[in-house]
Structure formats: C-alpha cells, structure tokens
C-alpha cells in the first residue's frame, strides 16, 4: 500500500508538519509504504486558464500529479487559513484537477490539521473535503484536528494526551486498511480481478467526463 504524505504548509516550524511526521510513523506502523514530500516541491503559480491552455501543467503540478499517480492513498495535513482551506493548497488541487485521467479520482485521503486554537483547524478540514470530494477522492469519514497543538507534542514527537494518541493510531490504521481494500478497485497498485478493476476504472472515468474541461473562468 503506497501512501503519499505531505503537509500543505511552507513554514519550517509548522505544527502541521509535526503532526504529519507523527501520522507518517503511524501509517508505517500499520504497514503502509509512505512517500513523504515537501509542499515546496509542488509550488505553482496561481491557476490561469490561458497558461493552462498554452503551456500546460507547471513543473510543480506535474510533480504532484506524478506522485499522486504512483500512490494508492494520501495522508494530508492541511492548515486552516481564515476559517477555511489554505489558498496554496486549493490552487494545487485546481491545477492537478486539469490532468486526465484525474489524479484525485478514486484516491483515498486522510485529512489532519494542527493549530494552537481550541478548534484545531477543523473548520479548514471541512472546507478542504469539498474540492477533494468534488474531484472524486475518497476522503476518510473521520478527520483529526489537534487543538492547542503548540502544547500538544511530547519531546519524542507523540502526543501528551495518551487517549488522543490512541485515537489517532486507530484512525490511521483504519484508514490504511480501508485504502488497501479500495485501491484494487480504483486502479491502484494492489491486485484485484481484472474485470472488476476495469468496471470501476470505467465508472470513475465516466464521472470524470462529467466535469467540464473547457470552461475556464
């Protein structure tokens, strides 16, 4: 089971990067093969329909699309900006959504966030679900928002709150098991009967075809 993991934050001291590191260790503990990326590897200009038509996907977009296509699932730590999704992350989703076959479609995704606030960034996670699910991703029902994250981490990178730590461990283990079950049916790298894979792949691409490609705002 191949999982791409990154925190959608550029700040070196990002709490979301610390949470991602913990999530990665738990995903590996659950048996996943994890490809950890830095969000800076996916830097892109603001989406521009003219640039898209004339030049195609920028290098950062090609890198993100390629890493997604090589994975069965995505572990994403998404910061909350002004009660919503970070603009840089939304921009990356928009660029990559232009690729065909759609890299997001059929991809299992686990969303996490960390913030010093009592809400832990959960409002941003709800907003992040919308474009990902709109692009056909299978976003795990449970999300993990770490409140008071500036005080939540122990020196070894785990969480001081043992109950919260156990909840995250169970969440990520469950996510890995579900992603393993879904991946063969969605054209992932695990195996499933060829006719079943073909039927699901055709259904996913039929859904992709419903999304307008020529309409550029």
CATH number of 2-210: 3.40.50.360
Closest CA to 152 of 110, 114, 112: 114
Q: What does residue 112 show for φ and ψ, rounded to 5 degrees? A: -135, 155
Q: Model-level pTM?
A: 0.87
For 63-83, what is each residue's pLDDT tens digit? Answer: 999 999 999 999 999 999 999
CB neighbours (10 Å) of residue 77?
30
Question: DSSP assignment of 125-148, as one string?
Answer: HHHHHHHHHHTT-EE-S--EEETT
- C-alpha span between 100 and 208 (Å, rounded): 8
Q: What is the pLDDT of residue 203?
A: 54
For 33-69, what is each residue's pLDDT tens digit? Answer: 999 999 999 999 999 999 999 999 999 999 999 999 9
Q: Where are the domains of the chain?
A: 2-210
- C-alpha span between 153 and 157 (Å, rounded): 6
Confidence check: pLDDT of 211 > 60: no
Cβ–Cβ under 8 Å, residues 179 and 106: no
């Amino acid at each position: 089971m191949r999982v791409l993991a990154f925190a959608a934050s550029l700040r070196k001291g990002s709490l979301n990067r610390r949470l991602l590191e913990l999530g990665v260790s738990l995903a590996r503990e659950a048996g996943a093969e994890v490809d950890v990326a830095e969000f800076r590897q996916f830097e892109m200009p603001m989406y521009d329909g003219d640039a898209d038509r004339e030049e195609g996907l920028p290098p950062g977009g090609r890198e993100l699309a390629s890493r997604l296509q090589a994975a069965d699932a995505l572990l994403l730590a998404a910061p909350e900006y002004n009660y919503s999704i970070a603009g840089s992350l939304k921009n990356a989703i928009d660029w990559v959504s232009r690729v065909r076959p759609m890299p997001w479609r059929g991809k299992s995704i686990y969303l996490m966030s960390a913030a010093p606030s009592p809400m832990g960034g959960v409002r941003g996670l709800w907003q992040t679900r919308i474009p990902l699910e709109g692009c056909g991703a299978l976003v795990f029902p449970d999300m993990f928002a770490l409140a008071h994250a500036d005080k939540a981490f122990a020196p070894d990178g785990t969480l001081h709150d043992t109950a919260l730590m156990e909840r995250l461990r169970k969440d990520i283990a469950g996510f890995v098991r579900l992603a393993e079950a879904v991946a063969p049916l969605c054209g992932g790298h695990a195996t499933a009967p060829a006719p079943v894979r073909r039927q699901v792949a055709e259904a996913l691409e039929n859904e992709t075809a419903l999304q307008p490609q020529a309409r550029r705002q």
